[in-house]
Amino acid sequence: MAMPITVSSSETKDLLRMERVGTHSHIRGLGLDDKYEPRASSQGMVGQLKARKAAGITLAMIKAGKTPGRAILIAGPPSTGKTAIAMAMAQELGTDVPFTSLAASEIFSLEMSKTEALTQAFRRSIGVRIKEESELIEGEVVEIQIDRSLTGGSKTGKLTLKTTDMETIYDLGTKMIESLDKEKVMAGDVITIDKASGRITKLGRSFTRARDYDAMGSDTKFVQCPEGELQKRKEVVHTVSLHEIDVINSRTQGFLALFSGDTGEIKQEVRDQINSKVAEWREEGKADIVPGVLFIDEVHMLDIECFSFLNRALEDDMAPIVIMASNRGVTNIRGTKYKAPHGIPADLRDRLTTISTSAYEEKDIRQILNIRCVEEDVEMSDDAKDVLTRIGVETSLRYSIHLITAANLVSRKRKATIVDVQDIKRVYSLFLDEKRSVQYMKDYEDQYMYNDQSEKVVEGTPMEM
Ligand SMILES: Nc1ncnc2c1ncn2[C@@H]1O[C@H](COP(=O)(O)OP(=O)(O)OP(=O)(O)O)[C@@H](O)[C@H]1O
Ligand SMILES: [Mg+2]
């Protein structure tokens, strides 16, 4: 039995996007010009020019919406801006194209199978742009007349609306009277009433009433009295993701599940029916598919089952563009005993186009640190920045970024307003970077528990899984 598919347009908000504050909050875009040429430093982005340009071209591809199912791998050493580039792409896409960000380890959950988690992530990344015609009544209020019954229980009334060409009287029920009250609608306001939902929107005050005696705030907006018919048809467009449609239709209180995140597994039948309904809408010209972006960070954490799922899922005609990131070299493919570059099997690598990022030069690091100081609201002397930049070159960009706020706290402790070299030195001695912490561990290895003397520490590469 085919169930009615709803997208509950009055309730669904258009695509929600989580704004991440923190590590990448200084990034506002890729910093490219109209020709996709990267500016040396713009929108919080510095250096890494080739990768940014490639990301920009990818963006153009996504915006054109013609190439679903592409997979792109951003590969490079740790802290070279892979995640930052993906976040910049998300910013550039705007709110109408879905962007889902996922760390590969997130799919290993007890409540949901891995493939279900991946399917949900895929469907979150596909937007359905739905065009709906709604019937509106739009006019200037001439008069509102309300009659209370003797007991005061129910109210009835009449609303007179006009355009430049006509005038009509509408009967009002209790609910409409309440919403008119709530919106503080008065004679002389230009309003629209959505016929289906009864929602009233105030557009502004009519110019003809501009000289009225009643007090008006400076923010009063004046509009023309509408022309023509009072009843109008208007096209409203809103975008929801396939996953949202799935959730709304899979449970009675499905809409709430969207907020709580408690969606559970969604039945394949529900998805099939939604797919065919969406296909129908597309044919009727009522909806468009907007292939968005699924970003899978730390992709080497996926296992062989997930990789083969991806192979197939990318071939679906409703696939998003999948962007992956990895900092691994040749490593184990999870779930097998084989090794492969980035821990990704050859058949998936064959479907990928790769953007590579490389270590930053000193001047780039300095510039990024400058930007982070502004972002974290920290004032720092030039000498201190020199030292911090050198630390960044010798350890990692991320480590030096992390010292900014710590150094600021230390400087405040000595009642200074500007972070100076001594503060940087202090935090550098308090917090070890990766290399020094390994060295420290080696120096005192016999004091640690279960220390395996035969095992050699792989320096500079993250822990193997
Ligand atoms: N080109 C850049 N411009 C501005 N900020 C950057 C740039 N590259 C990196 N950063 C910042 O440096 C920090 C580290 O970068 P990021 O987290 O993107 O590295 P990554 O390549 O994802 O590393 P990992 O492989 O360890 O995940 C972040 O705070 C990021 O916002
Ligand atoms: Mg990262």
| 231-240 tens-digit pLDDT | 888 887 888 8
Residue 286: name the closest of 130, 67, 123 by CA. Answer: 130
* One-letter amino acid of 225: C
Average pLDDT over residues 116-126: 91
Q: CA neighbours within 13 Å on the CB side: how many for 215?
A: 1
Q: What is the DSSP string of 195-256?
A: TTT--EEEEEEEGGGTT-SS---TTPPEEPPPPS-SEEEEEEEEEEEHHHHHHHHHSTTHHH
Q: Is 401 in the pocket of ligand 1 (CB under 6 A)?
A: yes
Measured from the alpha carbon of residue 296, the closest ligand is: 2
pLDDT of residue 265: 78
Span from the CA of 80 to the centroid of ligand 2 (angstroms): 8
**CATH 3.40.50.300 given to domain 23-125+292-359:** yes
pLDDT of residue 178: 85
Average pLDDT over residues 157-185: 88
pLDDT of residue 91: 85
Domain ranges of the chain: 23-125+292-359, 127-284, 362-447
More reliable by pLDDT, 460 or 386? 386
Atom of ligand 1 nearest to the CA of 357: 21
Two tokens, residue 146: 């309300």
Question: Regarding the domain delimited by 362-447, which CATH topology (the fold level of the hierarchy) does it fall under?
Answer: Helicase, Ruva Protein; domain 3 (1.10.8)
Measured from the alpha carbon of residue 462, the closest ligand is: 1
Q: Name the closest-CA residue to atom 1, ligand 1.
A: 46
Span from the CA of 426 to the centroid of ligand 1 (angstroms): 24
pLDDT of residue 306: 92
pLDDT of residue 235: 80
pLDDT of residue 462: 44
pLDDT of residue 464: 40
Q: Which residues pair with 168 in a beta bridge?
A: 161
Span from the CA of 407 to the centroid of ligand 2 (angstroms): 24
Q: Is 27 in the pocket of ligand 1 (CB under 6 A)?
A: yes
SS3 162: strand
Residue 111 has pLDDT above 80, yes or no: no
Return the number of other C-beta atoms located less than 10 Å from residue 58's C-beta: 23
Measured from the alpha carbon of residue 44, the closest ligand is: 1
8, 255 in Cβ contact below 8 A?
A: yes
Q: Is 52 in the pocket of ligand 1 (CB under 6 A)?
A: no
Average pLDDT over residues 251-279: 72
pLDDT of residue 207: 84
Q: Distance (Å, rounded) from C-alpha 338 to C-alpha 67? A: 32
pLDDT of residue 2: 53
Pairing of strands 126-148, 287-291: antiparallel
pLDDT band at residue 267, thresholds of 50, 70 and 90?
A: confident
Q: Distance (Å, rounded) from C-alpha 174 to C-alpha 199? A: 14
Atom of ligand 1 nearest to the CA of 84: 18
Return the minimum-mean-pLDDT range out of 31-45, 165-179, 252-266, 313-327: 252-266
Atom of ligand 1 nearest to the CA of 41: 3
Q: Is 326 in the pocket of ligand 1 (CB under 6 A)?
A: no
Q: Name the closest-CA residue to atom 24, ligand 1.
A: 78
Q: Distance (Å, rounded) from C-alpha 78 to C-alpha 69? A: 27
Q: How far is CA 173 from CA 63, 144, 146, 149, 151, in A?
A: 46, 12, 10, 12, 16
pLDDT of residue 449: 77
Query: Which stretch of DSSP H or E encloses residue 140?
Result: strand 126-148
Two tokens, residue 52: 């940014």
Pairing of strands 71-75, 321-326: parallel
pLDDT of residue 257: 52
Q: Is 327 in the pocket of ligand 1 (CB under 6 A)?
A: yes
Span from the CA of 80 to the centroid of ligand 1 (angstroms): 5
**What does the pLDDT look like over 278-298, one tens digit per residue?**
999 889 888 888 888 899 999
Q: Is 46 in the pocket of ligand 1 (CB under 6 A)?
A: yes
23, 78 in Cβ contact below 8 A?
A: no
Measured from the alpha carbon of residue 397, the closest ligand is: 1
Query: Which stretch of DSSP H or E encloses residue 330?
Result: strand 330-332
Q: Distance (Å, rounded) from C-alpha 391 to C-alpha 403? A: 10
**What does the pLDDT look like over 326-385, one tens digit per residue?**
999 999 999 999 999 999 999 999 988 899 999 999 999 999 999 999 888 889 999 999
More reliable by pLDDT, 265 or 408? 408
User: Which CATH number describes the domain made up of 127-284?
Assistant: 2.40.50.360
SS3 257: helix
**pLDDT, the chain, mean:** 83
